Amino acid sequence: MTDLEARVTPPRAPVLRRAAPALLGYAVVRALGLVVLAVWSAARGKSAHTLLTARWDALWYTRVAELGYGYQVRLPNGDVHSNLAFFPLLPWLERLLHALMPLSYADAGLVISLLASLAAACGIFAVADRVYGPRAGACAVLLWAALPVGIVQSMAYSESLFTALAAWSLYALLTGRWVSAGALAALAGLTRPVGAAVVAAVWVAGVLSFRGDRGAHGAQAPARRRALGMLLAPLGAAGYVLWVGHRTGRGPLGYLDVQAGWRNGFDGGYAFARFVADKFTSFPSALAGVGLIVGVALLLWLYVTGVRQRQPVELLVYTGVVLALALCASSYFGSKPRLLLPAFPVLLPLARALARLHTSRFVLVTAGLTAVSAVYGAFWLNGSGPP
């Protein structure tokens, strides 16, 4: 670039300003989902507010916020469900907001989730914009908002908070802000077990940067800042896991014991494969089995497409770990759709394709996805919903 070009080229607008249209679209999609949920729930004599704030994991988070750790339930089959399974950042924020404002712990969780979902949408835009441009960034945000289980983004759950921290940590990596990336990774590690995916992204990018690999973004940052970012990244997850081990008296294995009480573990996908295979024992359930196979195949195809499109290594590592932990865990299988929510980079190939559509087709596709997401979210949450 010549000196004249440098003087006349306008500076790039801040991320938040560039993301504004995408955030508006995100808000519209999620607002429609909430309206459909409210109408559907009222028709069934249920409270949409209760569905969003006071069921399943939301109850466990608010109990931690109110009473701290130590609560557990022993089931008739002998399993022990302990609230030590739930990472502390969301309950800490619920307690803080409850202390600052006249909100119940449950409502505080709902407010945090709504704000975090906007922060996540902005972070997703920032990442996609950095890699593929603003139009693809906006499409990625809309696709994430219109996922069939997108309603979870508006629940008092930790998925939105985690996705926000993960997305901004990845963006920090892509822009060479290593200390910020490490600090955000540490916070992500205090939010969900899948925080290991963010830590892995920071560490792989860091190792490549020290090796002088040109594929590592931010490799020109001072070595001490890269090293500090790598040191910060695992502190959140490691700190909580070690604390649980100390509290249970089982050392590093303590958290694994807690998860075992919930029948959660990592078996390489064996239990999930058996679950899918069992669907083919009768004709009606076989259709669900086919749907599950198609869904997993689509995820893997999108991931491989991202590899072929040479997505940054930070995104590939993060997405790969999220997919592996979600698909290869022996946890309750109804949870898997929401466990995949943080894997937003897998949507980038679709976002690129959507960005190439003519405006009329783009609006038609987006409107259709939004309608399906709103109806399915209301149906899902009024039924079995996310455990």
Parse the chain into domains and list their residue ranges: 18-381
How far, in Å, CA of 236 to CA of 254, rounded?
Answer: 16
Residue 250: CB atoms within 10 A of its CB come to 14
Residue 222: CB atoms within 10 A of its CB come to 10
* Contact of 106 with 289, CB cutoff 8 Å: no
CA distances from 69 to 49, 64, 85, 198, 308 (A): 25, 6, 10, 25, 45
Structure confidence at residue 283 (pLDDT): 76
Structure confidence at residue 1 (pLDDT): 39
Averaged pLDDT for residues 276-291: 81
Structure confidence at residue 9 (pLDDT): 37
CA 254 to chain centre: 25
pLDDT band of residue 213 (cuts 50, 70, 90) is low
How far, in Å, CA of 360 to CA of 345, rounded?
Answer: 25
Structure confidence at residue 3 (pLDDT): 41
How far, in Å, CA of 218 to CA of 174, rounded?
Answer: 7
pLDDT band of residue 14 (cuts 50, 70, 90) is confident
Helix (H) or strand (E) run with residue 320 in it: helix 313-327
pLDDT band of residue 5 (cuts 50, 70, 90) is very low
Between 277 and 12, the higher pLDDT residue: 277
Considering the chain, what is the average pLDDT of its residues? 90
Structure confidence at residue 278 (pLDDT): 80
Between 36 and 334, the higher pLDDT residue: 36
Averaged pLDDT for residues 8-21: 73
Token representation of residue 79: 């399993």
pLDDT band of residue 373 (cuts 50, 70, 90) is very high
Q: Which of 345, 23, 321, 341 is nearest to 159 (CA)?
A: 341
Per-residue model confidence as pLDDT tens digits over 138-185? 999 999 999 999 999 999 999 999 999 999 999 999 999 999 999 999
Is the predicted pLDDT of residue 212 greater than 80, yes or no? no
Entry field: residues in the chain: 387
In this structure, what DSSP letter does residue 129 have? H
pLDDT band of residue 237 (cuts 50, 70, 90) is very high
CA distances from 89 to 61, 86, 167, 191, 229 (A): 10, 9, 17, 5, 20
Structure confidence at residue 2 (pLDDT): 39
CA distances from 36 to 29, 39, 41, 144, 165 (A): 11, 5, 8, 18, 28
pLDDT band of residue 49 (cuts 50, 70, 90) is very high
Structure confidence at residue 64 (pLDDT): 96
How far, in Å, CA of 312 to CA of 336, rounded?
Answer: 25
Structure confidence at residue 218 (pLDDT): 60
How buried is 11 (Cβ within 10 angstroms: 0-12 exposed, 13-18 middle, 19+ buried)? exposed
Q: Is the dihedral of CA 59, 64, 65, 68 positive or negative?
A: positive
